[in-house]
Amino acid sequence: MRFAHPLLVLAVFALAFAAMDHPASAANVGNLDGVNLSGAELNPGPGKRLNFDYTYPNSSEISYFASKGFGVIRLPFDLTRLYPKPDAELASDQLAQIRTIVADAASHGMRVILDPHNYGSIYDARTGANRLIGADEEGTRLFADFWRRAVTAFRGSPNVIFGLMNEPHGQTALQWRAGANAAVTAIRAGGATQLILIPGTDYTGAHSWTAANGNGAAWSGYHGDPLDNFAFEMHQYLDSNSSGASPVCTPNAGATRLTAATNWLVQNKAKGFLAEFGWSTDPSCRREGESVMSVLDPNRSPWIGWTWWAAGPWWPSNYPFFLGPKKDVGASGDHLQDCEQMQTLEQALH
C-alpha cells in the first residue's frame, strides 16, 4: 500500500490462532492464491528489535490459511534487516526466521513469496542513506548482490517465489526496469529456477500500468528471464485513488480497474500476479470485490494468482482489510469466526 502503517507500529494485537487446529487442505496444493502475512516489514531500518518493533508470522496463522485452501503466503520483510551491510552475508537471525516460515509453509503444501518491502530503495550502511534502485548505479549493484545471496539461501527451496521488490517509486519505468533486470540476471546466474515476480514503478498499480508512468511501454516485449518463468506483479485497491487508504469502494471499480492491465498482459502474452488488493465490509464493496475475483479467474484471464492484503500477528481486527479470524464474544463463550470477505475468496480459489 502507498501509506505506512503508523497505528500498526505500536499495536500488538495477539490473535488467538493457537487454540485452532487446522489440517492442510488438499485444495491449496499448487495454487497461487493466498494472503500477505505482514509484520516483518514494520519499523524498517537498523537497530530495531524483534517482537517489539517488528514480528514474523507464526505457525498457527500459516495453518489457518492452509486450512482455507490458500496456496501461497506473501512475506513482506525489511531488506535492511536481512541485508544490513553492503557485500556482506545475509543476517543470520533474519534468515533463520524466514527459513522457518518457508519450511512451515512447505509442510502445508504452500509457497512463500519473498517480498523485500522497501519501495524501490536499498539501504547503504556505509553512508546511512537509501539508494534508489535503477536510478543509482551503486544501489542497483547492491540490489543484485542481495538477490545473489538470497538465491544461495533459497534456490534449494522449491516452494519459494522471488518477489523482487514491493511498490517501487521515485525512479522512472526505464530506470526501474534496469534495476529489476539486474536482479533477475543475478537470480538466474545463481542457479535458481523458481518463479520471479516483477513489479513496475509508481507503486505498480494495475489501474495505471498503461498510463503515463511508462510501465506498459517499458516492459513490453520483455525477454530478460532466460527461463521465461516470471509474472508481472501489480497491486490494486478499490477506493477513489486506488491507494487502499479508504474503506469505501468506488462504484464499478471492481469491474474496470484491472481492465487495461489485463488487456496489456494478453497483448504481450505475459502473466500477471495481483500481490496486493482488498476490500472492506462497507456496503459499497461486496459487489466490487466479487467483480475483481471474476476478472482474476485464471480460466479466462492471464492472472496466475493473487495475495490479499492483509493479515498478520499485529494487525488489529478492526483494520478494514483484515483477513484473519475475528474473536466473536457470545453467550456460548469466546470463539473465532472468519471475516466476511473470506467466503468470497474461498469461492474464487483456483
Judge whether 276 counts as a catalytic residue: yes
Banded pLDDT at 329 (limits 50, 70, 90): low
- Which of 41, 61, 167, 288 is the catalytic position? 167
CA gyration radius, the chain: 19
Residue 287 is given by DSSP the state H
Q: What is the pLDDT of residue 337?
A: 87
Instruction: Give yes or no for a contact between 339 and 327, defined as CB atoms under 8 angstroms apart.
Output: no
Give tens-digit pLDDT for 124-183: 999 999 999 999 999 999 999 999 999 999 999 999 999 999 999 999 999 999 999 999
**pLDDT above 90: residue 3:** no
Question: How far is residue 153 from each of residues 77, 162, 337, measured CA to CA in Å?
Answer: 16, 12, 37
Instruction: Give yes or no for a contact between 133 and 169, defined as CB atoms under 8 angstroms apart.
Output: no
Q: What is the pLDDT of residue 330?
A: 56
Residue 217 is given by DSSP the state H
Question: How far is residue 215 from each of residues 42, 209, 233, 270, measured CA to CA in Å?
Answer: 28, 5, 11, 14
Closest CA to 188 of 159, 223, 227: 227
- Which of 276, 290, 340, 346 is the catalytic position? 276
More confident residue, 178 or 337: 178
Give tens-digit pLDDT for 206-219: 999 999 899 999 99
List domains and CATH numbers for the chain.
6-348 (3.20.20.80)
Give tens-digit pLDDT for 278-296: 999 999 999 999 999 999 9
User: What span, in angstroms and rounded, lies between the C-alpha atoms of 43 and 4?
Assistant: 9
Banded pLDDT at 10 (limits 50, 70, 90): very low
User: What span, in angstroms and rounded, lies between the C-alpha atoms of 338 and 282?
Assistant: 16
Q: Which segments of the chain does DSSP mark as H helices, in order?
A: 6-10, 59-67, 79-82, 92-107, 137-154, 173-189, 215-219, 253-256, 259-267, 286-295, 340-348
Pairing of strands 129-132, 121-124: antiparallel
Instruction: Give yes or no for a contact between 80 and 45, defined as CB atoms under 8 angstroms apart.
Output: yes
Report phi then psi at 237, rounded to 5.
-115, 165
Pairing of strands 272-278, 303-311: parallel
Q: What is the pLDDT of residue 5?
A: 43
> Residue type at 109?
G
- State mean pLDDT over 4-26: 37
Whether this model's pTM surpasses 0.75: yes
Per the prediction, the chain carries an average pLDDT of 91
Closest CA to 238 of 200, 284, 273: 284
Judge whether 167 counts as a catalytic residue: yes
